[in-house]
Amino acid sequence: MLSTAITLLGETGAEGFTMRRLAARLGINPMTLYHHFGDRAQLIAAMADRIHAGVAPPAAGSPLERAEGLLRRYHATILRHPALTLLVLTSPGLFPAQARRITDSLTGLLIAAGLAPQRAGLWLDILVDFTHGAALATAMAAQSGAPEDAGAGRYDQAIAALMASLRAEIG
Amino acid sequence: MLSTAITLLGETGAEGFTMRRLAARLGINPMTLYHHFGDRAQLIAAMADRIHAGVAPPAAGSPLERAEGLLRRYHATILRHPALTLLVLTSPGLFPAQARRITDSLTGLLIAAGLAPQRAGLWLDILVDFTHGAALATAMAAQSGAPEDAGAGRYDQAIAALMASLRAEIG
DNA sequence: ACCTGAACACCGTTCAAGT
DNA sequence: ACCTGAACACCGTTCAAGT
């Protein structure tokens, strides 16, 4: 059921993804969905949790290397599901559990790397907001039929620049 | 008409802003709007152009200082209209004329500062994507009733870090 | 417990018709 | 030129009823 929803969302894009269309694809009554997921926002959160579930920092490396690796993996994952990312980022108040786990994990790694908790919070926002902004730009470009390359390489260079600043701050 | 639309959007948020609601507020038939703006996407573009029209780089300073000033002014402007920013960023293929003017101006300043055109393109993406990601995060937080401070101060610190990297690259 | 039909209160947009 | 009424093809969601 969740996998069908994720597949359909990939086909239709964020715009075309509706409860009624998903029900039709599943061959069930639209209202049955409400019995399983509560409402549309909770369905989106459940899809996001499924997609984010495997994202974890690399096992080896310094805290900063693991933080960077986690961020890159998170970015690669949401780039693979641009329409879902669009829905998650623009659903008011929606913070799916797995996304929270990822940002909590990132905060922990930044603190372990030697940042004061307050600075870790600032850097978390910088890194995550940029990652979301880049993913959003790629998602919108893809939705209007642009070539889908470019995005990933630019993200790599940008993250490298940001991590250099971070390293400089830690000293 | 445009100002009424902008006011209404501020009141209702992105979700509640509909053609029919705007027509009701204006006391006209919903279909009259289509005579003036074409469709919903073009209406949103027209609102964005109105809001972005005044955003320009400071007159004095080095190219890099003017680039940073332009970016801060752009960020301050879109933060004042979070719901509109949400609609612009998530309307597929929508790139309002004034927004394009601002990013073109920014690219010109980065080149004037000594960046090769290719690097200027990379840095434009970094700076603009981060600005949009930060604005999006603030918009969503505001929409779920969070305190509206914080956002601006963090953006200032983040932009300072990014500009430092840029300066280092130019040498 | 799980599913459904009918209904409510909406949408954006088209099109033919009015002044 | 500018505006409108009626209609089309949709939405998300509630609620009472069915198995």
- Whether residue B114 contacts residue B169, with contact meaning beta carbons closer than 8 Å, is answered with no
Residues 6+ apart with CB under 8 A from B70: B55, B56, B57, B58, B102, B105, B106, B109
- CB of A136 within 8 Å of a chain B CB? The answer is yes
pLDDT-derived band at B69 (thresholds 50, 70, 90) equals very high
pLDDT at A70: 97
Burial B119-147 (b: 16+ CB within 10 A, else e): bbbbbbbbbbbbbbbbbbbbbbbbbeeee
Tell me the average pLDDT across B22-47: 95
Per-residue model confidence (pLDDT) at position B92: 83
Average pLDDT over residues A62-77: 96
Mean pLDDT of B85-100: 92
Residue B32 CB in 7 A reach of strand D: yes
| Nucleotides in chain C with any atom closer than 7 Å to protein CB | 2-6, 10-16
Contact between B138 and B118 under an 8 Å Cβ cutoff? The reply is: no
Which has the closest alpha carbon to A52: A31, A24, A81, A27? A81
Q: Is B93's Cβ below 8 Å from some Cβ in A?
A: yes
Separation CA A40–CA B72 (nearest Å): 36
Reduced to 3 states (helix: H, G, I; strand: E, B; else coil), residue B57 is coil
How much is the average pLDDT of B58-71? Answer: 96
Q: What percent of chain B has pLDDT over 90?
A: 73
pLDDT higher than threshold 80 for residue A142: no
Lowest-confidence pick of A106-110, A134-138, A146-150, B79-83: A146-150
Residues sharing a CB contact under 8 Å with residue A25, sequence separation 6 or more, in sequence order:
A4, A8
Distance CA(A66)–CA(A160), nearest Å, equals 14
C-alpha span between A156 and B141 (Å, rounded): 27
Token representation of residue A39: 């409402």
**What's the pLDDT score for residue A156?**
87
Q: CA nearest A151 in B: which residue?
A: B125
Contact (Cβ atoms closer than 8 angstroms) between residue A138 and residue B132: no
Q: Does any strand D atom come closer than 7 Å to the Cβ of A39?
A: yes
pLDDT for A78 beyond 60: yes
Q: Do B93 and A140 touch (CB under 8 A)?
A: yes
The CA-based angle A37-A41-B133, given to 5 degrees, is: 145
- Chain centroid to Cα B118, Å, comes to 23
Cα–Cα dist B142/B85, whole Å:
13
Number of residues in chain A: 171
CB B81 within 8 A of CB B10: yes
Is residue A2 a contact partner of residue A27, using CB atoms and an 8 Å limit?
Answer: no
> What gap in Å lies between CA A43 and CA A107, rounded to an integer?
27
